[in-house]
Amino acid sequence: SQQGEEDPQALSIQEGENATMNCSYKTSINNLQWYRQNSGRGLVHLILIRSNEREKHSGRLRVTLDTSKKSSSLLITASRAADTASYFCATDGNTGGFKTIFGAGTRLFVKA
C-alpha cells in the first residue's frame, strides 16, 4: 500500500476561504513534499519539509509536519478559483534510497 494517504479525498470551498488537506504516512521519512496537479497535466512541486522541521511557509501555503504522529497538513489561505487542482503528498523514506512514494491525493474545488 502507498506510504502517504491524504484526507479528505475531495474538498469544495468558496473563494477566499482556507483549505486544509492532511497527509498520513507509515514509515520514517527523510522529507515530505507537496505537489499540485492540474487536470491532465504533470505535477508541480509546491513545498518540501524535512524531517527535522515542524512548519514551513511559502506565500499562501503553510505546511506542518508531526513526525510523532506521522502526519502533515497543507493549508492554503485565501483560496482562489485558480487553486482548483489535485494536491498530493509524497514521502522519501529514510531507507531504500529515495524511493519517493505518493498518496492518492485530495481534489480541491474552489468556487468563484
Say if residue 97 is exposed, middle or buried (CB neighbours under 10 Å; 0-12, 13-18, 19+): exposed
The C-alpha atoms of residue 77 and residue 4 are separated, in whole angstroms, by 23
CB closer to other proteins, 43 vs 65: 43
CB closer to other proteins, 15 vs 22: 22
Report in angstroms how near the CB of residue 68 gets to other proteins at its nearest.
Answer: 22
Q: Which three cell numbers stand for residue 97?
A: 534510497
The C-alpha atoms of residue 69 and residue 43 are separated, in whole angstroms, by 26
Chain residues that interact with other proteins, rule: CB under 8 A: 2, 4, 6, 30-31, 33, 35, 40-45, 48, 50, 88, 90, 92, 97-105
Report in angstroms how near the CB of residue 16 gets to other proteins at its nearest.
Answer: 27
